[in-house]
Amino acid sequence: MKNIKVDFNREKEWWDAKASKEGKDLADESINRVLRWREIEKHLKGVRTILEVGAATGAFSIPLAKRGFIVTHVDFSSEMLKIAKRKAKGLKNITFIQANSTDLSKFDDRSFDLVLNMDGAVSFAGSKADQAIKESCRVTKKTLILTVSNLAELIVILTNSSLEVSNIFMKAVYAMFNEGLWHQKMFKDNGLLTRETKQEYFGALKAYSSNQLKKILEKNHMRVTRIGGLGSLANLCRIETIKKVKKNKKLFNEFVELCDKFDKEIMPDGPGTRQRAGLIAVAKPKL
């Protein structure tokens, strides 16, 4: 099952269709985004070159370029790149490259001080996700920051959805438990679970537990300095709470502090946020 083929041409079509709304934050996405920025800020000292893999429309790459870093923005969606280039007009220190996260062979080993690979570039590589992680590890000189789909959260989502549409626990639930994998065509009834999604499609998806992700990073000669859920408090709070804090800047900033504290001190291996990738890892090459 792990060797099921990923149709990257179909994946590209899906991401192209999503490009115009990529920058819009739904539910607890804005909390996830701020928490990622907090981690990035800790690792910018001494950094000159930055690679962002799966950089989409430039939510991170462009602000980093504006701060003077030499940034390489990689995405395999032509529509995402088109929007990002428009947003970065006039910036001379950012390069845009269309490439698949599973093949960064155009870059030499240890060629970037900081590598960011966040959200879809790993998770939506499906059964090729481990290869995407391997490539990001290979090109990292100082620090790698990864965010990937959290296995705990994906199991909950599929369990709820399965009962809602079929009144049984479908095969997709067990595939996520056992392999952390979702592919649209893995099982005949998977289409029932994507009826309300973009293009009635949910691509290829790989989710990880903290232990699984740590093992892969260590296998690729990385030393993990942080790993765990990202924004779990936001996930566990009521939707009404999220809506309320998003309306008040002071409350929002205070809530982000609480989320960060919750991740690190209360539930370090929690499910992460509902939206965006809810598992974060920070790693450095072993000397």
Does 89 reside within a domain?
A: yes
pLDDT band (50, 70, 90) for residue 143? very high
Q: What's the pLDDT at 84?
A: 97
Joined together, the tokens standing for residue 7 give: 């149709």
Does 23 reside within a domain?
A: yes
Does 235 reside within a domain?
A: yes
Does 191 reside within a domain?
A: no
Query: How many folded domains does the chain comprise?
Result: 1
Does 234 reside within a domain?
A: yes
Tens digit of each residue's pLDDT (9 = 90 or more) over 35-75: 999 999 999 999 999 999 999 999 999 999 999 999 999 99
Buried b / exposed e over 195-227, threshold 16 CB at 10 Å, is eeeeeeebbbbbbbbbebbbebbeebebebeeb
**Does the pLDDT of residue 254 top 60, yes or no?**
yes
Does 96 reside within a domain?
A: yes
Does 159 reside within a domain?
A: no
pLDDT band (50, 70, 90) for residue 4? confident
User: How many residues in the chain?
Assistant: 287
Least Cα distance to 154 among 85, 86, 235, 92 occurs for 235
CATH number reported for the structural domain that contains residue 53 in this entry: 3.40.50.150
Does 210 reside within a domain?
A: yes
Domain that holds residue 54: 8-151+206-285
